[in-house]
Chains A and B, each alone.
Chain A
Amino acid sequence: MDWNSLILFAVLATSLVASAVIFLLAESRVTLRSTINLAAAVLKLLLVLWIIWGVYQNIEYELRFTIIDGVDFILRADALGIMFVGLSSLLWLFTTLYAIGYLEKAPNRSRFFGFFSLCVASTVGIALAGNLFTFLLFYELLTLSTYPLVVHRGTRESLRAGQIYLYYTLGGGALLLFGVVALHVLVGDTEFIPGGSLSGLDPTLYPLLIGIFLMMVIGLGVKAALFPLHAWLPMAMVAPAPVSALLHAVAVVKAGAFGIARVVYDVYGIEFAFSLGLLGPLAVAASITILYGSLRALAQDDLKKRLAFSTISQVSYIILGISLFGPIGTIGGLVHLLHQGLMKITLFFCAGNYAETLGVHKVSELDGAGQRMPATSVAFTLGAFGMIGIPPMAGFISKWYLGIGALEAGMNWVLGVLIVSSLLNAAYFLPILYRIWFRRRERPWCEGKVVGRFETPALLLIPTLATAAFALAAGLFAGMPFSPLYWAQIIVSREYLP
């Protein structure tokens, strides 16, 4: 148990310990709780940065111990995993800040923050998992730790939403479990190796492998909200804004997409998956989801619901990129994993700010919000432009790479999907911006809560602006070292030429 494996454990432990402590704290110990939370978040971020630097220099970080004979618990920091960890720990910090401000004087904060940290811990576990078993472990843990957050409000519809959420995620988890077990019986402990470990198998097993792949992709697709399996996502919007932000940007949907990436790249290996003819259908499913999500989003008047449907379509960009055979498409997918997170969390923060400060939940009530809350509205505008894929926002980078990747892979129709989708995105985001900036509000605002010297409490404003700035920088300075694009290129270079 050397230092390199301990640091992995520490990364996981920061949020685990934090959650444990917070659970035991009394409801009233606000300051202490916030301090612990933030301290843990910052500490985790520092550790992750340290690991990122290490991974950049090809240092091996691994922690493993046996659970059952033939099944190990493995934590390993590879480029792909650490990218996800970096995203989650960064956004954890901001979301925690935001949540502290958002839930001021709300009940059940100990429970909330406890499960919040637990949820982040499981996300980190998913990212660092070194084999399918460990991945599954944290994948289910994520389901459990997010349920209390979804039903946090305790109202009837939030409980209903939680129930739906469970139906979907538990069912998906069980399917995934079967896939994993079947694979385990076939080839033993399936560690994540760049290029995959299955290509050596006897061709008579290929049909079985395809079946297993389907099982796992369906299981993961539930969380990634692939088309027929997406219904839980819009319902989960009843959760408080920080939760939906985290769920959508990092935790749940990303876990699904990330899992699919793992399965395709590190279990099957992209060449092998391509030779099995699995990527084409995946791309089709992703494209259908992209268009479907955008079309549904057009019809929503509830701001968060509209954002939810846009998440459904945006996350499938990632899956689309994964299913494009070729390095550039892969880069596009992986980089969108980060970009979408940054942009979407910004949008949700903004939605939360509008709801908290002005008591506005519907798009149709947003008239003139730009005059009242310029900073928030600027952040929202940036996020929306990013979603549409307008340069220089991050979304444009992803779209460019996806487009080129699709052409490289000879799937020209994907280009059409991208264009139509960005037209639809424009169609449901630009009207919002129009209302925010260019419409006047007749009635005075019914102020939701007292605000400080800013347009809204600083704890709500700062994270919003920070994430917006990150989303802008990720696109504008994509050429810089350690930008998301740069990191995705590192991953791909290690994936395609092992």
Chain B
Amino acid sequence: MTGAAGTVALLLAGGWPLALSLLWGVPSLRPRVSRLAPWAALPALLVSLFGAPGFTVDLSWLLFGARLGLTPTTQVFLFLTALIWTAAGIHWRTHRRDGDHCERFCVLWLLTLTGNLGLILALDVALFYTSFALMTFSAYGLIVHNGSEAARRAGRVYLVLGVIGESLILIGLLLAARATEAPLLPMLADLPDAIAGSEHRDLIMASLWLGFGVKAGLPLLHFSLPLAYAESPVPVAAALAGAMIKAGLLGWLVTLPLGAAGLQGWGWILLGTGLFATFAGALVGVQQSRPQLVLAYSSISQMGLISVALGAWMFEPALGPAMAAAITVYALHHALAKGALFLGIGVAHHRTRMPVMLWIGLAFPALALVGLMPSGLLAKGSLKNFAATGASLLDAFPQLPTLLALAAVGTSVLMARHFWLLRLDTGRDAAPPGGWHGWMLLTGASVFAVFLLPWWGVEGHWPDTVKSLFGIVWPVLLGVALSVVASRRLQPWPIPPGDVLVLLTPLPGLAVRAGRALGVTGPAARRLLRHWQARALARYMRADHRFGRFSEHLWRRDASLLFVLLLALVASIGALGFAR
């Protein structure tokens, strides 16, 4: 695409939602804006489809001098983000009820979208960080939208973690930027090498890993995900689970020095956490009692798989191309499927005339997720493609394929659980006209979008042998069997959403109480001080008065006596001065 057109297109992709949100400031335009809002992601979608990677736009006046552009990876991310936002927008458009703060929701929706798109399009650190922050903070408004106590708690948790994440990212970016040639105008592309060469490499990587991990659902930073997904409106949940979680992943991809040598240690860490997340997510998710929560934990475990891939990449740089492809494919596949599932929850609420069709439709993304659909096949195939080049990873860690297979078991159990729960609350309310459009769009995409990948030059790896096919199929069957048995036999433990968080929340209160017990509160100390002050002041006043009267008396009455004394004094001094 040509220069001018490209520039306009790129600017539109990021700027259109922003422009809309600004236009909303004009009262007379508000109804029109809120009608356009759901479609705000369309320009980005078109750019992602028809944009050429490598094309950049320089905005020297923006921040320190910003740069927009596309790379193959970001193009895929742009596509999935725009698609999910559009679908969610359509869903929202058909499901929104007039009244409660619809306008506030509209503005925050646009701002979050802007941030989400901007961080994908950004090529320089400043704009990237700006968009990331914009997304984080305006998403808060979407999460607490329905204003219930639970929603506010979710929002609080999300915000605290978000702020911490932002600061961690800032530390990482600052240190990394310092290591680049142009610390004041750093480009994302320069960061990985700079980090690899920096003297605080590990500090930088740790802070970036954790900082983006807050979004990507890293274990122990994941609390906000289940809470937020469960409490926020369906389209928002879809956007969060599908698009925004991938923002964290993108953060990892663009900043961490993945291909650099000598990162085995980090490789192990990522592998470990990834596997832990995978299984823990599955185990905790099974115990949940609401479909959103189940999906949230499944997201956590899926992201765990992705970070396994990252770990593999770090562990063995030679795996780079294969893993890069795998991660991209998996991200696309998981994002679309998860988005479809969430919208599906919304759709399943409606009474429908053709339940069979509904259930088949609902099944598609789930099957894709467990890997029985083309997208799933491709994803899993390219993920397990460790043997692509040399097998040192497999030598070091031979159990890895088995573990991944078990992870697939976990996934399918989660899906089974999801449907079990979904079954319970179907057909509650009347279906709005076309309420299923957005869902349908995503479902279709979740199955077939992978065929677009070559278009962006991303080559996945199809499972070619029967053995590998079987290796994908058997865990699913096992999982289904397990869940059937489990549904008969055992009761789920009541693990609250945001598992470990429940143990952390009382801590501040305890600290305060301890302080009170020791009696170190502000007022007490202040009262004591004021008391002393008052006493000192009173005493001073009395002394002052006495001395004042005394001195007055002396100076007045015996002035002349004083005079004589001084005369004697001065005279003697004079005489002494003379004697010297």
Partners in one complex: yes
B360 at the A interface (CB under 8 A): no
Among candidates B137, B171, B183, residue contacting A385 with C-beta atoms closer than 8 Å: B137
Tell whether B26 is near chain A: CB-to-CB under 8 Å.
no
B177 at the interface (CB under 8 A from A): yes
| Known A-B contacts A328-B184, A400-B174, A479-B60; A390 and B166 likewise in contact (beta carbons under 8 Å) | yes
Residues in chain B near residue A396, CB distance under 8 A: 130
Residues of B within 8 A of A400 (CB): 64, 126, 174
In the complex, how many angstroms separate the beta carbon of A495 from the nearest chain B beta carbon? 17
Q: Which of B137-195 contact A (CB under 8 A)?
A: 137, 141, 144, 147, 152, 155, 159, 163-164, 166-167, 170-171, 174-175, 177-178, 183-184
Asked if A477 and B174 make an inter-chain contact with CB atoms under 8 angstroms apart, the answer reads: no
Chain A residue at minimal CB-CB distance from B101: A371
* A400-B126, A438-B144 given; A407·B137 CB < 8 A: no
On whether the beta carbons of B171 and A419 are closer than 8 Å, the reply is yes
A residues bordering B, Cβ < 8 Å? 299, 328, 385, 390-392, 396-397, 399-401, 403-404, 407-408, 415, 419, 422-423, 426, 430, 434, 437-438, 440, 475-480, 485
- In the assembled complex, the Cα of A353 lies from the Cα of B422 at a distance in Å of 50
Within 8 A of A (CB), among B391-423: none
Taking CB atoms, residues of chain B closer than 8 Å to A426 are 163
Residues of B near A430 (CB, < 8 A) are 159, 163
**23 interchain pairs (CB within 8 A)?**
A328-B184, A390-B133, A390-B166, A391-B63, A391-B129, A391-B134, A392-B63, A401-B184, A404-B177, A404-B178, A404-B183, A404-B184, A407-B175, A407-B178, A408-B183, A423-B163, A423-B164, A423-B167, A426-B163, A438-B141, A478-B63, A479-B64, A479-B65
With A328-B184, A430-B163, A437-B104 known as contacts, the answer to whether A392 contacts B64 (CB < 8 A) is: no
| A390–B137 touching, CB < 8 Å | yes
Rounded to whole angstroms, the CA-CA distance of A289 and B228 in the bound complex is: 37
Q: Known pairs A328-B183, A404-B184, A440-B147. 8 more at Cβ < 8 A?
A: A299-B522, A404-B174, A415-B171, A415-B175, A423-B163, A423-B167, A437-B104, A475-B63
Asked if B61 is at the interface (CB within 8 A of a chain A CB), the reply is yes
Tell whether B62 is near chain A: CB-to-CB under 8 Å.
Answer: yes
Bound-state CA distance A430–B152 (Å) is: 13
Give A54 to B65 CA distance when docked, in angstroms: 26
| Separation of A399 and B167 alpha carbons in the complex (Å) | 11
Q: How far is the CA of A316 from the CA of B287 in the complex (A)?
A: 51
CB of A228 to closest CB in B, whole Å: 16
Contacting pair A391 B130 (CB below 8 A): yes
Residues of A within 8 A of B144 (CB): 438
Q: Is the Cβ of A438 less than 8 Å from the Cβ of B152?
A: yes
Q: Which residues of chain B come closer than 8 Å to A476, judged between CB atoms?
A: 62-63
* Interface secondary structure of A, over-half rule: helix
Inside 8 A of B104's CB, which chain A residues have their CB?
437
Q: Which residues of A contact B129 (CB under 8 A)?
A: 391
B window 424-480: CB within 8 A of A: none
Q: Mark B303-345, 1 if CB is under 8 A from A, else 0.
A: 0000000000000000000000000000000000000000000
Contact of B174 among A299, A397, A407, A440 (CB under 8 A): A407
Closest to A425 in B: B163
How far is the CB of B107 from the nearest CB of chain A, in Å? Answer: 10
B78 to chain A, nearest CB (A): 21
Chain B residues with Cβ below 8 Å from A422 are 167, 170
- Complex Cα distance A136/B109, Å? 53
Please list the 5 inter-chain residue pairs (A to B) with the smallest Cβ-Cβ separation, ordered nearest first.
A391-B130, A403-B174, A407-B178, A479-B65, A480-B61
For residue B171, which residue of chain A has the nearest CB? A419
Tell which of B61, B141, B159, B164 touches A479, judged by Cβ atoms closer than 8 Å: B61
* Contact call B167/A437, Cβ cutoff below 8 A: no
For B183, the closest partner residue in chain A by CB is A404
B152→A477 contact, CB < 8 A: no
Question: Which residues of A sit under 8 angstroms from B177, Cβ to Cβ?
Answer: 404
Across the two chains, which residue of chain B brings its CB closest to A416? B171
- Known interface pairs A392-B130, A404-B183, A438-B141; A477-B167 also in contact (CB < 8 Å): no
- Tell me if A408 and B147 are in contact (CB < 8 A): no
Q: How far is the CB of A164 from chain B (nearest CB, A)?
A: 13
Q: How far is the CA of A270 from the CA of B46 in the complex (A)?
A: 54
Chain B residues near A328 (CB-CB < 8 A): 183-184
Partner of B63 from the list A407, A415, A479 (CB cut-off 8 Å) is A479
Of B62, B66, B174, B522, most A-chain CB atoms within 10 Å:
B174
Q: Report how far A153 CA is from B574 CA in the complex, Å.
A: 58
Q: Say yes or no: A477 contacts B137, CB within 8 Å.
A: no
- Distance, CA A185 to CA B184, complexed state (A): 43
| Interchain CA distance A391-B137 in the complex, whole Å | 11
Residue of B nearest to A378 (CB): B25
In the bound complex, CA of A440 to CA of B134 (Å): 24
**Distance in Å: Cβ of B137 to nearest Cβ of chain A:** 7
Q: Whole-angstrom distance between the alpha carbons of A14 and B63 in the complex? A: 35
Instruction: Tell me if B152 and A478 are in contact (CB < 8 A).
Output: no
For B167, the chain A residues whose CB sits under 8 A away are 419, 422-423
CB-nearest residue of chain A relative to B104?
A437
Given the known inter-chain contacts A390-B133, A404-B177, A438-B141, please indicate yes or no for A478 contacting B170, CB distance below 8 A: no
For A479, list chain B residues within 8 Å (CB). Answer: 59-66
Shortest B507–chain A CB gap in Å is 15
Residue in A closest to B129 when the chains form the complex, CB atoms = A391
How many angstroms from the CA of A404 to the CA of B184 in the assembled complex? 8
A478 cross-chain contacts in B, Cβ below 8 A:
63-64
- Closest Cβ of chain B to A261, distance in Å, is 21
CA of A409 to CA of B522, assembled, Å: 38
CA distance A333 to B175 in the complex (A): 19
**Closest chain A residue to B170, Cβ basis:** A419
Distance A479 CA – B60 CA, assembled complex (angstroms) = 6
A16 to B563: give the CA distance in the assembly, Å: 50
Q: How many Å from the CB of A38 to the closest CB on chain B?
A: 27
Q: Provide the residues of chain A in CB contact with B137, threshold 8 Å.
A: 385, 390
Contact of B141 among A407, A423, A437, A475 (CB under 8 A): A437
Chain B residues contacting A392 (CB-CB under 8 Å) are 63, 130, 134
How far is it, in angstroms, between the C-alpha of A88 and the C-alpha of B144 when the chains are bound? 40
A473 CB to nearest B CB, Å:
10
- A408 B130 Cβ-Cβ under 8 A: no
Q: Would you give the shortest CB distance from A488 to chain B, in whole angstroms?
A: 12
- Taking a contact as CB atoms under 8 Å apart, the answer to whether B170 and A403 are in contact is yes
- A440: chain B residues at CB < 8 Å are 147
Question: Which of B129, B166, B522 has its CB near the most chain A CB atoms (within 10 A)?
Answer: B166
Q: Within 8 Å CB of A485, what residues of B?
A: 64
Write out the residue numbers on chain A whose beta carbons fall within 8 Å of the beta carbon of B61: 477, 479-480
- Bound-state Cα–Cα, A111 to B167, Å: 47
State the Cβ distance, B105 to closest chain A Cβ, in Å: 12
Which residue from chain A places its CB closest to the CB of B168 in the assembled complex? A419
In the complex, what residue of chain B is closest to A404 when comparing beta carbons? B183
B62 nearest CB neighbor, chain A only: A479
CB distance from A332 to the nearest CB of B (A): 11
